[in-house]
């Protein structure tokens, strides 16, 4: 019989493993001679399979706990009539990215068995499938043998109910080296994050397991109430405690608004698939809905505006003027508020001017709270723009608020509050969040949507309002809101938003690869407690920055606006 080089390799492998101890026996069972190489190889593989002298069985407990060692028993049996030399086998999870455990067993006499123990740790809750097989890894030549001479077992893994909630929360990121100072540019603003960046040496599978495991923990903590995870963050994480989290109905889109938002997201995803640029999509949104009743049109407009303002506009730095053009014809409260935010928060002077011109052409009562809150925003440029906008729009009804701002100290200064019966010093400061790295800080987790999940209050079906978590260390998706994973374990709900930014910017990120060098950051205000000594030092910096001036920048802005309105 003619044996191919492929078959010879199989023979060498089989002899090396001790799974084919008798070459004569193998030759006797080899298929009849053939001139077809594929038939020869199939015959050799069949022979090796039939003459393997060792069998393997793996067993484990019925249940186990996440992040705790689970003991498995691997039994090796010599089920042939000949002694076998030593053999090597591997044990590994089937669906989790972990290193293989390699074990070796010595020579076994006919009928003799050996029981060996191995411990594995599941990072995920749910079924934990483990496989044991003969051979080394990786080795394509062993695939056929591994397939027929392997054993699997499954353990149901849950979280230990005795584990305190704090253990389920991501650890506070390592403190970045900082000095006590007042940031003068947005690049100097403190950055907050759900967790530290992952080790760049992690494989794609390890990164995915980490994110999916974090989602498992979030869901476990939130079994009692949907927002319990956020409450846990507020309680356990001092760096996140003062963020303006919305919860309950305030963070959820429901009813007809949810259906309209789903329709908008469907149109957005379709436009993405057709490769339209972001600015083109914004322009196309203007005339998208024309055959709706007045009330339905208002609901649809609100959904469109939310999508354009929250999702599209922050993605590209030149989108500001397109956004103003999109908002200007719309006469709903949300468009007025969005224009007011552009007028006081945009870093582009041309966008601010265009937004102000659009506001002059409409009633601005819907933007009152944005303008008034802007007077006390802990970033002086915003307060100056808010005061200027009040004067330009001739909002004489806001003269009392301007006079209050003229009397108040600098909004960045520390104040004393009573918390849990104790006096503490707190400050209000602008912070930034990397939008792409913090999906699980701002949104609720999602699973496979049920029919109930897709129904609005009237029982009508809407689009699935979920998106895939952007995985660190993996190439950045072109459209992360539209990139829906076929697996449900790394999804978030975009109709549940715990944190909403005041404004967003694209900013450079060091060592960004494989992601873009410029990434989206969301800015908002955090209230933070300070030790008394640090609070006093912080206030000294404010006084030093003030110099010889009698009035702060906030007071100067209020005084100027009052003068313009003739209310000195």
DSSP for 459-500? S-B----EEEPPPTTSPPPS-TTT---SSGGGEEEEEEES--
C-alpha dihedral sign at 200, 202, 203, 205: negative
Domain shared by 376 and 263, yes or no: yes
**Pair 139, 278 in one domain:** no
237 and 147, same domain (yes or no): no
Global pTM?
0.81
The three-state (H, E, C) secondary structure of 176-243, written as one string: CCCCCCCCCCHHHCCECCCCCCCCCCCCHHHHHHHHHHHHHHHHHHCCCCCCHHHHHHHHHCHHHHCC
Q: Among the listed ranges 71-75, 301-305, 500-504, which one has the minimum average pLDDT value?
A: 301-305
Same domain, residue pair 147 and 217: no
Q: Helical H runs in 68-203?
A: 143-148
Give the Cα separation of 365 and 360 in Å (integer): 12
Give the C-alpha separation, 77 to 297, whole Å: 73
Query: Does any domain span residue 83?
Result: yes
Decide if pLDDT at 508 tops 90.
yes
Is the pLDDT score of 176 beyond 90?
no
Amino acid 115: pLDDT: 94
Instruction: Please compute the mean of the pLDDT values over residues 313-328 and round it to a whole number.
Output: 79
Percent of the chain past pLDDT 70, that is, above it, reads 79
Same domain, 412 and 495: yes
Stretch 485-513: mean pLDDT = 86
Q: What is the pLDDT of residue 483?
A: 52
Asked if 22 and 77 sit in the same domain, the reply is no
149 and 38 belong to one structural domain: no
Give the per-residue pLDDT at 192.
95
**CA-to-CA dists, residue 525 to 133, 308, 327, 335, 534, angstroms:** 55, 22, 25, 23, 19
Does residue 485 form part of some domain? Answer: yes
Query: Does residue 370 belong to any structural domain of this protein?
Result: yes
Q: What does the pLDDT average to over 512-537? A: 92
Return the CATH number at 79: 2.60.40.10
State yes or no: pLDDT of 313 exceeds 80.
no
Give domain status of residue 163, yes or no.
no
| φ and ψ of 193, to 5 deg | -155, 155
Residue 251 lies inside a defined structural domain of this protein: yes
Residue that is last in its domain, among 139, 158, 177: 158
**87-93: strand order across its sheet:** 63-65, 150-158, 126-134, 87-93, 101-105
Average pLDDT value for residue range 401-422: 93
For 347-375, what is the mean pLDDT? Answer: 94
In a domain? residue 285: yes
pLDDT confidence bin for 20, thresholds 50/70/90 = very low
| 135/269 same-domain check | no
150-158/63-65 β-pairing: parallel
Does residue 374 lie within any of the structural domains? yes
Q: What is the span of the domain harbouring residue 219? A: 186-564
Whether 385 and 373 have beta carbons less than 8 Å apart is answered as no
**What is the pLDDT averaged over residues 388-412?**
96
Say whether both 433 and 336 belong to one domain. Answer: yes
Q: How far is residue 329's CA from residue 308's CA, in Å, rounded to a whole number? A: 14
Point out which residues pair with 419 in neighbouring strands: 422
Residues 19 and 148 sit within 8 Å (Cβ to Cβ): no
Same-domain status, 76 and 26? no
143 and 43: one domain?
no
Q: What integer best gives the mean pLDDT of the chain?
A: 81
pLDDT in tens, 333-349: 999 999 999 999 999 99
Is residue 266 very low, low, confident or very high in pLDDT (cuts 50, 70, 90)? Answer: confident
Do 66 and 31 lie in one domain? The reply is no
Count of domains forming the chain = 3
Would 203 be classed as within a structural domain?
yes
Cα separation, 298 vs 317, in Å, equals 28
Nearest to 58 by CA among 70, 72, 71: 72
Percent of the chain with pLDDT over 90: 41
Distance CA 208, CA 206 (A): 5
């Amino acid at each position: 019989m003619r044996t191919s080089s492929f078959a010879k390799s199989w023979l060498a492998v089989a002899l090396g493993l001790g799974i084919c101890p008798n070459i004569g026996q193998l030759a006797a069972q080899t298929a009849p001679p053939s001139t077809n190489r594929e038939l020869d190889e199939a015959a050799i593989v069949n022979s090796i399979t039939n003459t393997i002298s060792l069998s393997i069985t793996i067993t484990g407990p019925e249940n186990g706990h996440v992040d705790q060692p689970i003991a498995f028993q691997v039994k090796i049996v010599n089920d042939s009539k000949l002694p076998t030399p030593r053999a090597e086998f591997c044990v590994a999870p089937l669906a989790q990215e972990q290193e293989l455990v390699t074990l070796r067993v010595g020579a076994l006499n006919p009928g003799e068995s050996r029981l060996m123990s191995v411990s594995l740790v599941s990072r995920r809750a749910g079924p934990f499938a483990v496989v044991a097989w003969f051979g080394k890894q990786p080795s394509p030549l062993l695939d056929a043998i591994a397939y027929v001479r392997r054993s699997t077992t499954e353990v149901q893994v849950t979280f230990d109910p005795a584990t305190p909630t704090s253990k389920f929360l991501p650890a506070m990121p390592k403190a970045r080296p900082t000095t006590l100072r007042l940031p003068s540019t947005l690049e100097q603003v403190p950055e907050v994050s759900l967790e530290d960046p992952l080790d760049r040496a992690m494989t794609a599978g390890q990164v995915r397991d980490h994110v999916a495991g974090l989602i498992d923990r979030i869901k476990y903590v939130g079994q009692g109430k949907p927002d319990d995870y956020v409450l846990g963050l507020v309680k356990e994480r001092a760096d996140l405690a003062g963020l303006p989290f919305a919860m309950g109905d305030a963070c959820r889109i429901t009813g007809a608004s949810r259906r309209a938002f789903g329709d908008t997201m469907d149109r957005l995803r379709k436009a993405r698939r057709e490769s339209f640029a972001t600015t083109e999509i914004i322009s196309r949104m203007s005339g998208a809905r024309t055959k709706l009743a007045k009330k339905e049109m208002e609901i649809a407009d609100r959904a469109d505006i939310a999508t354009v303002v929250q999702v599209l506009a922050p993605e590209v730095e030149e989108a500001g003027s397109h956004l103003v053009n999109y908002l200007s014809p719309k006469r709903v409260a949300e468009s007025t508020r969005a224009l007011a935010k552009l007028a006081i928060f945009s870093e582009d002077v041309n966008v601010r001017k265009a937004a102000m011109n659009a506001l002059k052409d409409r009633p601005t009562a819907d933007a009152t709270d944005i303008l008034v809150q802007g007077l006390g925003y802990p970033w002086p440029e915003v307060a100056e723009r808010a005061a200027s906008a009040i004067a330009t729009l001739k909002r004489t009804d806001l003269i009392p608020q301007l006079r209050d701002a003229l009397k108040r100290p600098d909004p960045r200064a520390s104040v004393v509050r009573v918390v849990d019966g104790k006096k503490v010093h707190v400050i209000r400061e602008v912070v930034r969040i990397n939008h792409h790295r913090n999906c699980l800080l701002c949104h609720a987790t999602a699973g496979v949507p049920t029919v109930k999940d897709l129904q609005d209050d009237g029982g009508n079906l809407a689009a699935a309002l979920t998106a895939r978590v952007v995985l660190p260390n993996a190439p950045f998706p072109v459209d992360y809101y539209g990139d829906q994973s076929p697996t449900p374990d790394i999804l978030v709900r975009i109709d549940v938003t715990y944190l909403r930014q005041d404004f967003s910017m694209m900013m450079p990120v060091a060592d960004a690869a494989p992601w873009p060098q410029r990434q989206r950051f969301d800015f908002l205000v955090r209230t933070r407690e300070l030790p008394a000594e640090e609070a006093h030092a912080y206030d000294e910096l404010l006084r030093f920055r003030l110099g010889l001036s009698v009035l702060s920048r906030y007071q100067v802005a209020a005084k100027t606006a009052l003068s313009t309105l003739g209310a000195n």
